[in-house]
Amino acid sequence: MSDHASITTSLTTPQPPDRWTRVRSAALQRPILQLVVLVAIAVWLVVLVPSLPTNPRAITSLLVVAALLAFAAMGQTLVVILGGLDLTLPGYIMIGALLAVDGTAKLGLPLPIAALITVVGCGAVGAFLGFACHRWAISPLVITLGAGSVLSGLAFFLSGGDYGKPAPDPLRALASAGSTTFGLPVPPVIFIVLGCAVVIWIVLTRTSAGRRFYATGVNPRAAGLARINTSATWTTVFALSGALGGLAGMFIAGFGAGWSQGMGDPYLFTGLAAVLVGGTTFASQRGSFTRTLIGALILTLLSTLVLAYRLKEEQGLILYGAIIIAMVAIYGRERHVRDRF
Amino acid sequence: MNRVLRLFRQRTYAFALLLVVVLLVLNVIVSPSLFGLERLPATLATIAPFVLVAFASTPSMLGGGIDISVGPLMVLVNCILVAVLIPAGLGSVGIALPILLAISAGIGALNGVLTTIVKINPVITTTGMLFVLIGVSLTIAKTPVSAPDNWTEPLADTVWLVPGAVITIGAVALAWFLLNRTAYVRNLLATGESDTSAYGSGVNVTAVKILSYTLGGLFAGVGGIALTAFLQVSIANLGTTYALLGVAGAVLGGVSLLGGRGSMFGALLGGLAIYLIQQLLTAAGVAPTLIVLSYGLVLVLAVILGATLLNPRKR
C-alpha cells in the first residue's frame, strides 16, 4: 500500500525544479542579460574613448538621444505587451512636431495648448484604432500602417512643405542637449522620461489596472472570461500609444533644429528594436518599460561604438539586426507546435 | 444583396477585383493614354515591382507567418546586381540570374529557419532581417549607381513582342500554379489556418513553413530584377518604403494576416490596386502629400471592410 501512496504523491505533487532551471527562470524574469550587455558595451566604449567619462556634455547628449528613443518607444512597449504592433508612430511624431513648430509659430498657439491638442488628437486616433482592432479582430499591422500614412500625409499637407521654422524656445529648453534643470546640467527630458518610467512601473506592477493589462495581453479570451473589459484595455493602450507618440514628436522637434518630412520613420524601427532588445516580446508577462529604457541605452551606446570604430551608420544597422535576432533567440523563443498540440 | 455578400465572402479576391475595375475605369477617364498599346510595356514594367512585392509577401502570410523583409530584399537584389555584379563583369544573364536567385532564396530560407527551428516570432525575425538587409544595401551602394546597358533592359520593354513585365510576373505566377498542382499549397493553407491541427494531421509544419519563406525570398529576387529593369539604377534608400508595401498589397488582395485564407491572384490584384491608386491621384494632379494621405485612408477602410462586412468567419 505504501508503494501506491508514494507513486500517487510523485504523480500529484510537482517535482521541485532543479537548480539550473531555477537560475535560468530567475535570470529571464529580470533584464539581467540586457544589463550585462549594457555594462559590457559601456566598458568597451570607455576603453576605446578614454576621454568620454570626463566629458559631461558628451554624456548628456548621449543620454538625451537615449531618452528620446525611449520616449518614442514608450507607447510601442505597451502595445507590444498587449500582443499588437503600432506602426502609426511616424504619423504621431509628425503631427506632434507640426503642432510644436508650425502650431506655435504660425497659428500662435501657446505651447501647453499645442501639447493638449496633440494628446487629444493623437489619442483619439489611437483609441479608434485600438477599438477597431479589438472589435473586429483585425491584426493591427496594416490598419496602423494606413493610419500612419494618413497622419503623415496630413502633417505634410498642413505644413505646405515649409519646414524652415525652429521649435519654440521653451520646448528647446526641455529637450536640447545643452539645457539645464533647476541649475543641474541635465536636460529636463531625461527626468521626464525617468518619471514616466517610475509611473509606468508603479501602474503595471502595483495596481489592478496593470494586472488586467498583462492578463489581456497573455490570454485575451481568459481575461474576457475573468470579466476584464478587454475592449477598454485595447482602446486605452492604443490611445496612450498615440498620445505618447505625439508628445515624443514634440520633444524630437525640440531636440533637433526643427522638423522635416520623414523624421518619424527612423524612430519606428529603432524604437521597435529598443523594445525587443530590452526583452519585451509579443504578449509577454515579462515586458516592461524599464526594459525598453535599457534597450534604448544599449542601442544608443552601440551606435556611438560604431561611430568610434569609424564604421558607417549602415554597418550599425547590420549590427542592430543581428543583436535583435541574437537577443530574442536567447530569451524570447516560442513553443514548438509539438508542445502546443 | 445577401448573394452578393456571400460571393464576396467566398472569393477573398473579389473585393480587390472590384477595386481594380473601378480604379481602372477612373484611370482611363483621367489619363486615356496610360494604357495605350505603345505605352503598355512601360506601364506594366512600373506595375511589376508592386505586384511582385505583394507576391513575395503572400506565401509566408498564407502559412500564418509574416515576412516584412521581402521589400528590403528586393532592394538588396537591385543593389547587388547594379553595384556589384555588373561592375565585376558578372552581369550576364547566365551568371547573374542564378547568383541573385540563390541569394534571395537563401535569405528567405534563413528567415524560415529562424522562425521555425529557432522559434523566434516572425515579426521579430523579419524586423531584425530588415535592419541587416537595409544595412547591407546601403553599404554596397550608399549613393545611387546607374547601370550600363544590360540584360534587364528588355524586361522593362518587350521581349519578342511580349512585355517584359509579363515574363517576370508570369514566371512567379507559373511557379505558384505548378505548386498548386501539388499538395504543398493545401498543406500551407492548413498550416496557416491552425498549425496544431495541421501537425496533428501529419503535415510537416516546419518544412512547409520554411519552404514558404524560401519561396517569398525567391519571388522577392524576381521582384528585384523587375525593379532593376524599370529603374536601371541602384536605390538603397528605398528599403523601408518597400518594407510594408508588400504586406499592404497582399492584405488589400484578401490575404489574411491570421493565415490560411487568400490567394496569389488576390495578391496580384492588391499590388495592382496600390499602383492604380497612386497613378490615379498623380494623374489627377493631386498634391503628393494628399496621395500619401488617401493611400492610407484606402488601406484603413479596406481592412475594416474586409474584417466586418466581408468577413466569412462567425466569431
**What is the Cα–Cα distance from A98 to A253, expressed in whole angstroms?**
9
> Which pLDDT band, with edges at 50, 70 and 90, does B101 fall under?
very high
CB distance A105 to A158 below 8 Å? no
Lowest mean pLDDT among A67-81, B121-135, B240-254: B240-254
> Hey, are the CB atoms on B258 and A139 less than 8 Å from each other?
yes
> Which pLDDT band, with edges at 50, 70 and 90, does B1 fall under?
low
> Hey, are the CB atoms on A337 and B205 less than 8 Å from each other?
yes
**What is the Cα–Cα distance from A269 to A320, expressed in whole angstroms?**
10
Domain layout of chain B by residue ranges: 41-242+256-262
Determine whether A97 is exposed, middle or buried from the number of CB atoms within 10 Å of its CB (0-12, 13-18, 19+).
buried
Note the pLDDT tens digit of each residue in B290-305.
Answer: 888 888 888 888 888 8
> Hey, are the CB atoms on B240 and A334 less than 8 Å from each other?
no
B165 pLDDT more than 80: yes
Three-state DSSP string of B3-46 = HHHHHHHHCCCHHHHHHHHHHHHHHHHHCHHHHCCCCHHHHHHH
Contacts of A341 in chain B (CB under 8 A): 196, 199-200
Which among B138, B142, B293 is the nearest to A154, CB-wise? B293
B315 pLDDT more than 60: no
**What is the Cα–Cα distance from A175 to A253, expressed in whole angstroms?**
9
CB distance B48 to B228 below 8 Å? no
**What is the Cα–Cα distance from B209 to B221, expressed in whole angstroms?**
19
Domain layout of chain A by residue ranges: 56-331
Helix (H) or strand (E) holding A250: helix A230-255
Which among A137, A145, A154 is the nearest to B248, CB-wise? A145
CATH of A56-331, one of 1.10.287, 3.30.70, 1.20.120, 1.10.3470: 1.10.3470
**What is the Cα–Cα distance from A216 to A227, expressed in whole angstroms?**
11
**What is the Cα–Cα distance from A118 to B304, expressed in whole angstroms?**
25
Interface of A with B in 107-136 (CB under 8 A): 132, 136
Note the pLDDT tens digit of each residue in A159-190.
Answer: 876 766 777 777 777 777 667 777 677 888 88
Q: What is the ipTM of this complex?
A: 0.85
A2 pLDDT more than 60: no
pTM of the model: 0.87
Q: How far apart are the first and last CA of chain B?
A: 21
Q: How many CA atoms lie within 13 A of B103 on its CB side?
A: 21
> Which pLDDT band, with edges at 50, 70 and 90, does B12 fall under?
confident
Place of cell 484611370: B27
Contacts of A98 in chain B (CB under 8 A): none
